[in-house]
Structure 1
């Protein structure tokens, strides 16, 4: 899979494909309107996509505010999971955060999502706390994870 994909800045024309991946990946997906807002109006938001043969197969959203960055969402199309694309996206997001002078990067992950937690730990994230009843679809807790970027 290496060298067969490109990571680039997300564009408006990517929203339909990103939304499809969002719906296939999450029980409470973001809306297309939310994605448009992130690209058009949120000055803190940075979104990247992974493209393979002119198809968006993954994406990651970041908010960078002063020296803190947060991953808002990250997902890979189900047909492309297990190929280290999520790891590549995550590493790219970490580098982008560093370039924007962020010192820390955080994210929330479902306490039951051990596969994602394992990936985050692999690239240096550590558990930092619990957000009780964080997820609106089933009130599952979120594990907050952090990585220092400096």
Structure 2
């Protein structure tokens, strides 16, 4: 997807129905619309983002979403998902890099996340950004008791991340 066709911006309350749809289509344990509303409207630590694609007719549709929590000098990626129609186009990488660059510009030095042990495509994306596996959370996911890999990215570099974001 060309850069001019994708806009990365902060999530707004009006985005929540589309964000929830992406979450439901993408993840086996989706968040509720109420949870997203809390992140957008009330959680001061939250940095919720969306990637908005321009369709051929000029209309716009959300292609991906991400919620990052910024607490002191740590960023935690709480959730990220790409709509099935937009996968394998680099959108997840660009959105994640953008969110991390913003976190770095706002004082984050390290980023953390959990990812399913069997979600190899997500792990590959995070490794491209420089994340490394730091540990395992056994039986972390309540739907199937799958392990979570705890991944970390140290020494966040806003300029390098922004270059990846496009």
- Same structural fold, with TM-score higher than 0.5 when normalized by the shorter chain: yes
2:76: which partner in 1?
A: 70
Deviations 1:67-103 (A, max 9, x none): 0110001111000100000010111011011011000
User: What's 1:86 paired with?
Assistant: 92
- Matching of residue 126 in structure 1 with residue 127 in structure 2: no
Equivalent residues, number: 150
Q: Identify the residue that residue 5 of structure 1 maps to in structure 2.
A: 6
Moved over 4 A (4+): none
2:139 and 2:111 map into 1 onto residues whose CA distance is 22
TM-score, normalised to structure 2, is 0.88
CA RMSD of aligned residues (A): 0.8
2:34 is aligned with 1:33 = yes
Gaps of 5+ in 1: none
Distance in 2 (alpha carbons) for counterparts of 1:93 and 1:133 = 28
TM-score where L is the length of structure 1: 0.97
Distance (whole Å) between structure 2 residues aligned to residue 104 and residue 10 of structure 1: 23
Question: How far off its partner does 1:42 sit?
Answer: 0.9
Q: Which residue of structure 1 lines up, in the alignment, with residue 19 of structure 2?
A: 18
Return the alpha-carbon distance in structure 1 between the equivalents of residues 36 and 96 of structure 2. 19
Whole-Å separation in 2 of the counterparts to 1:60 and 1:99? 17
